[in-house]
Each structure stands twice: as structure tokens, then as C-alpha cells.
């Protein structure tokens, strides 16, 4: 079970405390993605060392492999992955609906073929909720319908209606008080559909709410506008979660919209592909310009990677295909985002959020056009 208390606000930005069974989460908070019960290249000790409070796992992937029996007999997901902090579990809706030709939707759920071996599986709001509860996660997301953008009006309306229907079923199936259940607002970039979706989902009185269906390729200005609208439609006394956001600029803007939680594979995916996040923009560490650069990845970063290693060395590792390169970059990238939200919390408490926001974005402006979001 979770509870949530707002501690300070500046404009729409807010600092809060979300209490869960496995400990408190200070928000705003970034959640590294541990899709298959692991944040790629990082051990639980690494995550703790760089200030990670909560990790995200994915129902779709864990349902297929290793399955509920293996994890349950291990004592639940926390014991299985040796992580004693909070875990939020994504319902896998995005993964299922990205399969397209491999799935069939009906009013009560979705039948799909595994991307691993082609076997047939079925997700219903009830079965996904039961799976999440069986794994003992702290926060469970309801099964929803996420459509790719651009989408037709009919596709968006259908997704909103089916998401609402499934949310009611998931809420009725929720039996484990230690697991908080979050509803999801859909509607694409359509303001009226967002309002319609929010009314239906908020009426069910979930423990928290997510803004879904964004960060899927739409222009960033439209994402911000829709996130701001959606956040304003959600209760002030419940946590708000913007799904799939993981760049410095996007997190800052989302906090400014009144959002509390964020997740994304971006920092670790960048790490595996030779990209370093910094407060001055992103670096492709494989570029020749870094071969003789003996400075840290980010002079302002206090992580152990920046204290011990140079751009030259990490460039060498990445260019040589050494796994340590991806590990060091992933560690640093998650540390950067964790430090960002920590500083954001302090700025909100000190009533200097606007200054922090503007200064952070101003440092990024020269490089934003070079960054792939």
C-alpha cells in the first residue's frame, strides 16, 4: 500500500514523499528500467550507490521468462533480483500492443504470440493484476491500450474506452493491499479525449495515476503541452507518473508540468551505445575527438566513474567493444539523472525551481538540436 504527501510546491512543480511497502520514494524521482528483473549492466549495489530509490520491471517480459512460478518460489521479485527497495511494475501493455501482427484485442483482453518462441499467451486486466501481486511489487500498473502516434480518431477513442473498461476490471481484481495500483490516462494528443480518459480513470480512485501514450515520437512541444494538461486533470493528493521519459530536458520540463515519477530505458541504452549524458548535452564518446581527452565525462558529476576514468579511456573501451565501456557509461548516465531529480527536489523546497529549470535548460540549448530524443 502507498501513501503520498506533497511537501513543497513552486508553480506546478512539487516535492513529495511516496511511501511504499519497501521504503519511501522522494519525488520527483527517476526510475531506471529493469525490464527483465535487471537494470542492464548495473548491479543492485551500483543502483544504491548512485542514489536510485525505485526500479521498474516489466510484466510482459517476466511473464514470458522466467515466469511467475520461478519468481514466486524465490520469494517474490525483490528477493529474486536482490533489490530491497521499491519496485514499480509496468503492465506490459506497450510491449503487447507494439507486436501489432502478433496480437488480437477483444473487450476483455488481448491474445498475443511471444516474440521469443511464438507461443500464445493472453493478458486480461485481471490476470496482469494477479501476476503483479504474485510477484510482490510495490506499485502495479493496470493493463491499458497504448496506440502509436499518429493515430486516427477512431483508434484513440477506442483506446480510451477500452483502457477505462480494463481499469475498472483491474481495480475490482486488486486484492493485495501492499501493492499500490495505478491507473493510466490515454488519449494521444487530443485534449478532449485526455479529459474524457482522466474523468473515467480518476473516478475509480486509484492509488496513483500515470500519463500514458506520450514520448512515442510526437514533437516534444506537443508532449509537454499534453503532459501539462493531463497532470492538471489528476488529483493533487496522488502521485503522477509520466511513462517513458528519460532525458535531462524532458525530465525538467515534466517536473515543471507537475509530474512526480519518470522512467525510461534511455540512459542505459545510451550507455550500451557509447553515449554519455551530461548537463551540457550528450556526447558520442566513440567520436575521434575524445581519443586524447583526459577529462571526466562531466566535470560537474560526482559519480565514481567521473572521479576515476577519463573520456579517452571510456572512448577506447566503447570503440573496442569492451563491456566495461557500456557499464561505466550506464552507471554515469543513471547517476546524472538521479542527481538531476535530487537537485530538483532541493530547488522546489527552496522556492527556486524556476531559476533551476531555466539554468538547466539554458546549459543544454546549444546541444539540444544534436540530441536524438
pLDDT tens-place string over residues 341-365: 999 999 999 999 999 999 999 999 7
Looking at the chain, the whole-number percentage of residues with pLDDT higher than 90 is 92
Residue 16 β-bridge partners: 6, 27
Q: What is the pTM of this model?
A: 0.96
Q: Report how far residue 275's alpha carbon sits from residue 334's, in angstroms, rounded to the nearest whole number.
A: 12
**Catalytic option among 46, 207, 250, 263:** 263
State the average pLDDT over residues 204-211.
98
- Judged by average pLDDT, the poorest of 36-40, 145-149, 260-264, 274-278 is 145-149
User: What integer is the mean pLDDT of 62-88?
Assistant: 98
Average pLDDT score over the chain:
95
Q: Are 21 and 84 in contact (CB under 8 A)?
A: no
List Cβ neighbours of 367 (8 Å cut-off, separation of 6 or more). Answer: 280, 281, 282
User: Pick the catalytic residue: 46, 90, 256, 260?
Assistant: 90
The stretch 331-343 carries a mean pLDDT of 98
Could you give the CA distance from residue 135 to residue 76 in angstroms, rounded to a whole number?
Answer: 5
pLDDT at 96: 81
pLDDT at 305 exceeding the cut of 70: yes
Three-state SS at 115: coil
Give pLDDT, residue 101: 86
Residue 106 falls in the annotated catalytic set: no
Radius of gyration of the chain (CA): 20
Give the mean model confidence (pLDDT) for residues 297-301.
Answer: 96
User: How far apart are the C-alpha atoms of 216 and 236, rounded to whole Å?
Assistant: 26
* pLDDT of amino acid 372: 37
Task: Provide DSSP, 282-342.
Answer: EEETTSGGGTT--S-S-TT--SHHHHH--HHHHHHHHHHT-HHHHHHHHHHHHHHHHHHHH
Q: What is the residue whose three cell numbers read 543502483?
A: 47
Helix (H, G, I), strand (E, B) or coil at 116: coil
Residue 369 in this model has a pLDDT that exceeds 80: no
How many percent of the chain have pLDDT more than 70? Answer: 97
Q: What is the pLDDT of residue 98?
A: 83
Are 257 and 227 in contact by the 8 Å Cβ rule? The answer is yes
Ranges of beta strands (E only) in 212-260 are 240-242
Tens of pLDDT, residues 224-246: 999 999 999 999 999 999 999 99
Kindly tell me if the per-residue pLDDT of 79 is higher than 60: yes
Domain with CATH 3.20.20.105 in the chain: 3-264
Catalytic residue list contains 263:
yes
Q: How many residues does the chain have?
A: 373
pLDDT band at 87 (very low <50, low <70, confident <90, very high): very high
Fold of 3-264: TIM Barrel (3.20.20)
Amino acid at each position: 500500500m502507498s501513501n503520498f504527501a506533497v511537501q513543497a510546491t513552486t508553480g506546478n512543480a512539487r516535492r513529495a514523499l511516496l511511501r511504499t511497502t519497501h521504503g519511501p520514494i522522494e519525488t520527483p524521482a527517476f526510475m531506471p528500467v529493469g525490464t527483465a528483473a535487471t537494470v542492464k549492466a548495473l548491479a543492485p549495489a551500483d543502483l544504491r550507490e548512485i542514489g536510485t530509490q525505485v526500479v521498474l520491471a516489466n510484466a510482459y517480459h517476466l511473464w514470458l521468462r522466467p515466469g511467475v512460478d520461478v519468481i514466486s518460489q524465490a520469494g517474490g521479485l525483490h528477493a529474486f533480483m536482490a533489490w530491497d527497495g521499491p519496485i514499480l511494475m509496468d503492465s506490459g501493455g506497450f510491449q503487447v500492443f507494439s507486436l501489432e501482427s502478433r496480437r488480437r484485442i477483444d473487450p476483455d483482453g488481448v491474445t498475443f504470440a511471444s516474440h521469443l518462441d511464438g507461443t500464445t499467451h493472453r493478458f486480461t486486466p485481471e490476470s496482469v493484476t494477479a501476476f503483479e501481486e504474485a510477484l510482490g511489487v510495490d506499485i502495479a500498473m493496470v493493463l491499458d491500450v497504448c496506440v502509436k502516434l499518429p493515430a486516427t480518431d477512431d483508434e484513440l477513442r477506442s483506446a480510451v474506452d477500452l483502457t477505462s473498461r480494463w481499469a475498472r476490471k483491474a481495480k475490482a481484481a486488486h486484492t493485495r493491499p501492499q501493492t499500490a495500483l495505478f491507473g493510466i490516462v490515454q488519449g494521444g494528443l487530443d485534449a478532449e479525449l485526455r479529459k474524457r480518459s482522466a474523468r473515467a480513470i480518476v473516478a475509480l480512485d486509484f492509488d496513483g495515476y500515470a500519463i500514458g501514450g506520450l514520448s512515442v515520437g510526437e514533437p516534444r512541444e506537443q508532449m509537454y503541452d499534453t503532459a501539462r494538461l493531463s497532470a492538471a486533470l489528476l488529483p493533487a493528493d496522488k502521485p503522477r507518473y509520466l511513462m517513458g521519459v528519460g532525458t535531462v530536458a524532458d525530465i525538467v520540463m515534466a517536473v515543471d508540468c507537475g509530474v512526480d515519477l519518470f522512467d525510461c530505458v534511455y540512459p542505459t541504452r545510451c550507455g550500451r551505445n557509447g553515449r554519455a549524458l551530461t548537463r551540457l548535452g550528450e556526447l558520442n564518446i566513440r567520436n575521434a575527438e575524445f581519443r586524447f581527452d583526459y577529462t571526466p565525462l562531466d566535470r560537474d558529476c560526482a559519480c565514481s566513474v567521473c572521479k576515476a576514468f577519463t573520456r579517452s579511456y571510456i572512448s577506447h573501451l566503447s570503440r573496442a567493444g569492451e563491456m566495461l565501456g557500456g557499464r561505466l557509461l550506464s552507471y554515469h548516465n543513471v547517476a546524472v539523472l538521479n542527481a538531476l531529480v535530487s537537485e530538483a527536489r532541493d530547488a522546489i523546497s527552496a522556492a527556486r525551481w524556476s531559476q533551476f529549470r531555466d539554468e538547466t535548460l539554458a546549459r543544454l540549448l546549444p546541444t539540444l538540436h544534436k540530441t536524438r530524443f
